[in-house]
Amino acid sequence: MSGDAVVGWGAVSGGADAAARLGVGGGAGAAGGAGARGARAARGAKGARGTAGTGSGGGELAVETVDYHTAGEPFRIVTAGLPTVAGDTVAERRAIAIGAGGSPTGPRPSELDTVRQLLTREPRGHAGMYGGFLVPPDDSEAQLGVLFFHKDGYSTACGHGTIALGAWAVDSGLVAAPADGRALVRIDVPSGRVTAVVNRAAGRTTSVAFRNVPTRVLERGRRVGPVLADLADSGAVYASVRVPEVSLKTLPELTALGRELRGELLADHDLYGVIFHQELPDTPTGPAQRNVTVFADGQIDRSPCGSGTSARLALLAEEGRLTVDQELRHESVIGSVFTGRVLGERDGAWLTEVTGTAHRTGEHRFVLGEHDELGTGFLL
């Protein structure tokens, strides 16, 4: 999959052409995309170098992680080597992290952002890497807090990461869990408090369901260049666009179109991702869809996208296509599946629950020596 995306990326044309080929709408292309695409193409040709970073004492920087994948999407949990993160709440810590260099246009990276770069750039990571910095919760009602990170900065929400954190909290012994039954892991994230319901059988975690912050439908049928989009805020804002067919061959075009749509919508919404979805035959328990989610600056989610699934649930519930006694079968581009359901409605927002599986893939100790000429790494 990533091979197709890399090989075809440079030849991808603009949003209107891509939309026409994918059958997602008509009309004029989104304005202003060519310059941004050209800048990205130039950056991709030369690569983006990280900054030289060392520990606070000027010596070797060492960071320890436990890695999981949730339905194919990686999640790297930093367990040791993290500097103190200022702020009284998780949301404050994210704001401070962004102000200290957590965006491509920010100032010189802080020590925290040096770690983010180290873990999401080659040769220790890759452009599709995702992870979380463990931080204190907002109060004693939650067991932990987390700052979600990716190659472009810090996100407000991450459903697949919440599922992985629920599994890790039980696996590590942070939260006690029965051999058979379930354990609740309450996690403070930048968008609010979420709960991971860790289901167990015979001493093994069989699945994790996360109950998200309330999800609100923001707009319907928004014309964005060549397509119509529905927008929902599920802790992060997503635009949903229907496409008749999603295949690996279309990934470079969807990536380019997702970037262009995000650029158009950022003026009105803090848009995080674009969900290109395709209808599948209904199951006995409810509707089924396949999706490709393009998030941040053109990354493809390998999972069905947890918070994106919450957005889809809210939109389907508002349409009357999903009731509280039904489930959405939500399939990713690699064929992995989340199931989602609506728990109810409160104050004009939808309460959702998304279930998936997470598996540990490794434990790591990453180091950055003070004489490493690549610094925190590079992006191609």
Q: Which domain holds residue 134?
A: 61-206+360-366
Look at residue 49 and tell me if it is in a domain: no
Closest CA to 172 of 77, 104, 90, 87: 77
Task: Give how many domains the chain has, as a whole number.
Answer: 2
Closest CA to 218 of 99, 348, 114: 348
Q: Is residue 166 part of a domain?
A: yes
pLDDT of amino acid 8: 24
**What CA dihedral angle connects 59, 60, 65 and 69, to 10 degrees?**
130
Rounded CA-CA distance 24/243 in Å is: 5
Task: Confirm whether 73 is domain-assigned.
Answer: yes
Rounded Cα distance, 139 and 157, in Å = 19
12 and 93 in a single domain? The answer is no
pTM score, two decimals?
A: 0.86
Task: List the CATH number of the domain containing 307.
Answer: 3.10.310.10
Beta bridge partners of 183: 198
Task: Show the CA angle centred on residue 188, arms to residues 203 and 163, nearest 5°.
Answer: 40
Question: Is 275 in the same domain as 332?
Answer: yes
Of 130-144, 251-265, 278-292, 339-353, which range is least confident?
251-265
Please compute the mean of the pLDDT values over residues 128-151 and round it to a whole number. Answer: 98
> Are 153 and 27 part of one and the same domain?
no
Query: What is the percent of the chain where pLDDT is above 90?
Result: 75
Q: Are residues 159 and 117 both part of a single domain?
A: yes
Supply the pLDDT for residue 366: 98
Q: Are 114 and 219 within one domain?
A: no
Which of 145-154, 228-237, 243-252 is the least confident region?
243-252
User: 10 Å Cβ neighbour count for 308?
Assistant: 30
Inter-residue contact 65 to 119 (CB < 8 Å): yes
- Among 12, 146, 158, 265, the active-site one is 158
Q: What is the mean pLDDT of the chain?
A: 86
Regarding whether 196 and 305 lie in a shared domain, the answer is no
pLDDT of residue 322: 98
User: Does residue 47 lie within any of the structural domains?
Assistant: no
**DSSP per-residue codes, 148-195:** EEETTEEES--HHHHHHHHHHHHHTTSS---SSEEEEEEEEETTEEEE
61 vs 82: CA distance, rounded Å? 10
pLDDT value, residue 59: 77
DSSP output for 106-128: SSS--HHHHHHHHHHSBTTS-TT
158 flagged as catalytic:
yes
Give the model's pLDDT for residue 33. Answer: 35
Please measure the distance between the N-terminal and C-terminal CA atoms of the chain and give it in whole angstroms: 16
pLDDT band at 51 (very low <50, low <70, confident <90, very high): low
Residue that has been written with the tokens 């994948």 in this structure: 69
CA atoms within 13 A on the CB side of 377: 21
Residues 180, 65 within the same domain: yes
Residues 222, 197 within the same domain: no
Say if 375 falls within a structural domain.
no
19: enclosing H helix or E strand? helix 15-22
What's the CA gap between 115 and 99, in Å, rounded? Answer: 16
Tokens 């704001």, residue located: 95
Strands 73-80 and 130-135: parallel
Q: Are residues 114 and 66 in the same domain?
A: yes
Classify residue 248: in a domain, yes or no.
Answer: yes
The answer to the question of residue 352 being in a domain is no
Q: Is 186's pLDDT higher than 50? A: yes
Q: Are residues 104 and 147 in the same domain?
A: yes
Positive or negative CA dihedral for 31, 32, 35, 40?
negative
Pair (106, 190) in one structural domain: yes
- Note the pLDDT of residue 19: 56
Residue 109 preceded by cis peptide, ω within 30:
no
Is 220:292 a contact under the CB 8 Å cutoff? no
Instruction: Please report, for residues 43, 50, 115, 318, the alpha-carbon distance to residue 85 in angstroms, rounded to integers and kept in the order given.
Output: 30, 21, 12, 39
Q: How many CB atoms lie within 10 A of CB 178?
A: 12
pLDDT tens digits, 68-111: 999 999 999 999 999 988 999 999 999 999 986 555 555 556 89
Whether residue 336 contacts residue 74, with contact meaning beta carbons closer than 8 Å, is answered with no
Whether residue 215 contacts residue 311, with contact meaning beta carbons closer than 8 Å, is answered with: yes
d(CA 101, CA 111): 9
Residues 202 and 221 in one domain: no
Residue 55: exposed, middle, or buried by beta-carbon count in 10 A (0-12, 13-18, 19+)?
A: middle
Query: For residue 176, is pLDDT > 60?
Result: yes
